[in-house]
Amino acid sequence: MRFFSLVFFLLIAAAAAAQTLPPGLVHAGYNWDEQRRQRLPISAEEEALPAIILRDFTSIEYYFDQSRKDLRLFATEHRIVRVNSSDGIERFNKIVVPVLESGAAVAIKARTISPRGEVREVKAADMKELKDQGGGRGFRVFAVDGVEKGSEVEYYYTRERPFNHFGSEILQSEIVARDVTFELISPESLTFEARVYHGPAVTVDTTLAHHRVLRLSLPRVAALREEAFANVQAQRMRVEYKLAYMASRGAVRQFTWADASQYVYRTIMALSKDDVKAVAKVLAAARLPTAGPLPERIAAAENYIKLNFNLEEGASPSLSQMVATRNAPEAGFSRLMAAVYRTLGIDFELVVTSGREAAPFDGSFDTWDYLDHFALYFPATGQFLAPGRPEYRYGMLPPEWTASSGLFIKGVALGNTEEAVGKVKEIPALSAEQSPHDIDVTVAFAPDLSSSTLQLRQTLGGYPAVQIQPYWSQIPEDKRTEIMQQLQKSIVPDASNFQKLGVRNGERGLSPLTKPFIIESQLESASLLDKAGPRYLFKIGTLLGPQTELYQKEERQFDVENDNNRRYLRTIRFEVPPGYTVRNLKDLNVDVKAGPDAAKPVFDFRSSYVQNGQTVTVTVAENYRQVYWPKADFEAFRAVVNAAANFNKVVLVLDKKG
């Protein structure tokens, strides 16, 4: 079930509108209740919602077509939605149907039932076809007439999907749903297995003759709401399914991790004669070192390929074509780098995983739907590399691939042959120290205290640097000054009169793990000091930059999940103006931490100051050393986050002496 966008998206083929369903399909005659003229009852609480889904039925059927002698895949979906507000109407008053060759809608109906019991059905003549600007893929749009506050929008369709041995269905959204049913139907000769995440398990239904049926029926599914420090998309109730057994092959489990290992290894590692020649051309042009420290050799090969080849998903995966055009898809980068490292005699393992932002890799359920992203792992150094992600360098993977599991695959020689052996293992996250965002600022007040001059340096390493460092050299020269000023204004919003402004480590191909991106400037600000009668107020806390505030009132839904570990170190220096003292320096002393070991906290915010004469040096350290944290101890995590937000508001009071 997919109803997360503003419209419903169904897949059909342009010429397939009149196609009929195979007569043996279980839901070939599916229909809504033709006699129903009244809306389904809802409670007063449900009536206050913008919309509520009253029926959510999804049936996936694997169907053996006798005439074609092959398996086909069909989906039947039926939705009834009550819309109670303008927002609900806007969301559900149309059905948009992308016209794709990969599927064929063979039955579709839609209608509305008004609060007065008026039924309006969408006619085929009401279908409008749009084309995108490129003139390629088009859309068929059903405008659902008669939608008003309190109406029901009801539709169902059956369509053929591209065949796959694996699949996934989302069962939860930001809208409350009642009467939620998922079923998977297959011939008796095929045994599918399904795993439900964040919900109850499927059950086996034996009432349908000559078929195997897995079913999950729920009277109500709660709505999800957005929540800070959580991957809400990954927390949705969903079902993953796969073909596990075939009667013709007995008790042998199908599509296992061992099978996947063999398939992936052959796909990535197998080279034709033309491929071998293409790799030789790359090595001849690259002139890579054949001796020296292994990390430097690995990085040199990666750097050459990522600087000389373009990521183009539509490009050919053939190595000879890639070398000729200098364009490669993500999988092509993986094949090329694997071939180069193997030729250089550098040992590695292939790693395949999924992103934890939507469907974290689950090694206990061997669906190949988790095999989304390729990485390389070097056992001799314990480091990873993302071949098809040009913005990352050796030692870094996209953060959503880490703090999760993956399938690690290596080749093993067996006599004159080579076999692939796979094992599910953890992909560790980078440490907090490897992803710093540090600020060093020295503030000098003007003699008349009307303004301040700041020496400001920001240092971005690891993941913070990835947001800009890989792209800096591609930014036009005339735009760089504006961008540098914007970066510094994120700390000092009213920054002006930039007397010095520059960047270090902005060249192409640098690793932010060893060469952090640094912005340095000298600038002026008129807003750091406010006059209040005979005293001045120094808004020192703002020099941390904007901070996240975590003051949610609702009960926490999910465990904490950070994108990545990270650390912030800020050093602020200032001279107390002659003739003044600072009344409340002790407000700079903060110590908030979370974790079972107070001496080595998992998360912490600590600030302190040292005064030497008129010079005050403030040090603020904030660390997030763990990706996951249980919601049962959410308050401890929230206290650390809010400590930074509270420090953001710290104002020092400068009093005249005497």
Helices (H), 522-633: none
Q: pLDDT-derived band of residue 413, with 50, 70 and 90 as boundaries?
A: confident
d(CA 497, CA 514): 32
Flag whether the pTM goes above 0.85.
Answer: yes
Which residue, 429, 428, 430, 422, is CA-closest to 363?
Answer: 422
Q: Which residues is 618 bridged to in the sheet? A: 572, 609
More confident residue, 98 or 77: 77
Q: What is the pLDDT of residue 268?
A: 95
List the strands of the sheet with 452-460, edge to edge: 496-504, 517-525, 452-460, 437-445, 566-575, 615-624, 603-612, 590-594
Flag whether pLDDT at 501 surpasses 90.
yes
Count CB-CB contacts under 10 A for residue 108.
21
- For residue 470, give every residue at least 6 positions away whose Cβ sits within 8 Å of its Cβ, in sequence order, or none: 390, 391, 508
The residue with tokens 């971005």 is 460
Q: Extract the tokens encoding 398.
A: 């996209």
Mean of per-residue pLDDT scores for the chain? 91
The amino acid at 118: E
Q: What sign has the CA pseudo-torsion 205, 207, 213, 217?
A: negative
Per-residue b or e along 328-367, where b marks 16 or more CB atoms closer than 10 Å to that residue's CB: bbbbbbbbbbbbbbebeebebbbbbbbbbbbbbbbbeebb
- Per-residue pLDDT tens over the stretch 305-358: 999 999 998 898 889 999 999 999 999 999 999 999 999 999 999 999 999 999
The percentage of the chain sitting over the pLDDT mark of 70, rounded to a whole number, equals 93
pLDDT at residue 384 greater than cutoff 60: yes
Question: Which tens digit of pLDDT belongs to each residue from 34-58?
Answer: 999 999 999 999 999 999 999 999 9
Distance CA 179, CA 197 (A): 18
Q: Confidence band (pLDDT; 50, 70, 90) for 124?
A: low
Cβ atoms within 10 A of the Cβ of 512, count?
27
pLDDT for 101: 53
CA gap 578, 448 in Å, rounded: 11
Query: What pLDDT, on the 0 to 100 scale, is given for residue 159?
Result: 82
**pLDDT given for residue 495 in this prediction:** 96
Q: What percent of the chain has pLDDT over 90?
A: 83
Closest to 509 measured CA to CA, from 468, 467, 470: 470
Angstrom distance (rounded) from CA 442 to CA 450: 17
- Which pLDDT score is estimated for 13? 32
Average pLDDT over residues 18-25: 76
Residue 160's pLDDT band (boundaries 50, 70, 90)? Answer: confident
Amino acid identity at 111: R
Q: Report helix, strand and coil shares of the chain as percent, to nearest 5.
A: 20, 40, 40
**Residue 5: its pLDDT value, please?**
27
CA distance 68 to 656: 92
Lowest mean pLDDT, pick from 155-159, 360-364, 628-632: 155-159
Would the CA dihedral through 457, 459, 464, 468 be positive or negative?
Answer: positive
Q: Which residues of 566-594 are buried (b: 16+ CB within 10 A; e: fewer)?
A: bbbbbbbbbebbeebebeebebbeeebbb
pLDDT at 17: 39
Residue 123 has pLDDT above 90, yes or no: no
**Would the pLDDT of 194 be above 70?**
yes
Residue 4 pLDDT level (bands cut at 50, 70, 90): very low
Give the mean model confidence (pLDDT) for residues 555-562: 95
Write out the two tokens for 479.
Answer: 């735009």
Q: Which residues contact 570 (CB under 8 A, 6 or more apart)?
A: 438, 439, 440, 441, 543, 544, 618, 619, 620, 621
Model confidence band, residue 10 (pLDDT cutoffs 50, 70, 90): very low
Give the confidence band of 140 by pLDDT, cuts at 50, 70, 90. low
What pLDDT does 443 receive? 98
Q: Which residues touch 231 (CB under 8 Å, ≥6 apart)?
A: 356, 357, 358, 561
Instruction: Give the containing element (helix H, strand E) for 622.
Output: strand 615-624
Do residues 635 and 642 make contact, with C-beta atoms less than 8 angstroms apart? Answer: no
Q: What is the DSSP letter of 12?
A: B
How far apart CA 361 and CA 363 sit, in angstroms, is: 6
Q: What is 159-199 written as a DSSP string?
A: EEE---SEEEEE---SS-EEEEEEEEEEETTEEEEEEEESS
**pLDDT at residue 589, rounded to an integer:** 98
Phi and psi based region of residue 69 (left: phi greater than 0; alpha: psi -120 to 50; beta: remaining): left
Of 469, 491, 461, the residue nearest 567 (C-alpha):
461
Residue 105 confidence class, pLDDT cut points 50, 70, 90: low
